């Protein structure tokens, strides 16, 4: 028998994550003993994870933490489904490649890409009616601020919502 490696000591946040991971595995093993409870848990986590990913996809073009929400949703799914673990890994690798690529670009290229992303966010906000809503709050009622989907949104929300 060769020399033993010294045990690694975890402190702070790493220690908390490690303890939480162990507790989750024990919790999950207890659920897995009952087939009905196991199936119910897997379905619940599948629905919850899918809902979080969909919310993240909706939030992606809008200002906010779209990617973080998608990663959280994929993490929920990956805890139960092997295919989701593969997808999460694939998305992480692509995201890291994108960040590394952006870091290697010149400032003008970075500014051009960021301007394009900001333009996409502005178009999404306009289509969702954010500009006309905020304009209404401050007394600006310019017709071009109105989303082309505003009549559709009024129809979908029902007659209780007054048209603008």
CA 132 centroid distance within chain: 26
Question: pTM of the predicted model, to two decimals?
Answer: 0.60
**Distance, CA of 94 to CA of 31 (rounded, Å):** 34
Strand, coil or helix: what is 148?
coil
**Distance, CA of 42 to CA of 36 (rounded, Å):** 10
According to the model, what pLDDT value does residue 9 have? 72
What do you get for the CA distance between the two ends of the chain, in Å? 80
* Residues of the chain predicted below pLDDT 70: 1-3, 6, 8, 10, 62-64, 153-154, 157-164
Which residue has 């600006």 as its token pair? 140
The secondary element (H helix, E strand) that includes residue 86 is: helix 82-104
According to the model, what pLDDT value does residue 109 have? 94
Supply the DSSP string of 46-65, one letter for each residue: HHHHHHHHHHHHHHSSSSS-
Strand, coil or helix: what is 164?
coil
Two tokens, residue 85: 């673990």
**Distance, CA of 25 to CA of 17 (rounded, Å):** 12
């Amino acid at each position: 028998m060769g020399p033993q490696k010294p045990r690694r000591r975890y402190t702070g946040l790493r220690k908390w994550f490690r303890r939480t991971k162990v507790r989750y595995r024990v919790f999950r093993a207890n659920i897995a003993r009952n087939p009905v409870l196991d199936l119910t848990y897997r379905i619940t986590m599948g629905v919850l994870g899918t809902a979080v990913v969909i919310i993240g996809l909706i939030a992606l073009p809008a200002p906010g933490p779209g990617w973080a929400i998608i990663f959280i949703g994929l993490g929920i799914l990956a805890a139960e489904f092997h295919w989701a673990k593969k997808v999460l890994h694939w998305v992480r690798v692509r995201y890291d490649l994108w960040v590394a690529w952006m870091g290697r670009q010149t400032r003008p290229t970075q500014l051009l890409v960021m301007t394009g992303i900001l333009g996409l966010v502005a178009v999404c906000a306009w289509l969702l009616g954010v500009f006309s809503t905020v304009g209404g709050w401050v007394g600006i009622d310019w017709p071009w601020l109105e989303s082309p989907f505003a009549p559709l949104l009024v129809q979908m929300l029902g007659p209780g919502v007054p048209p603008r």
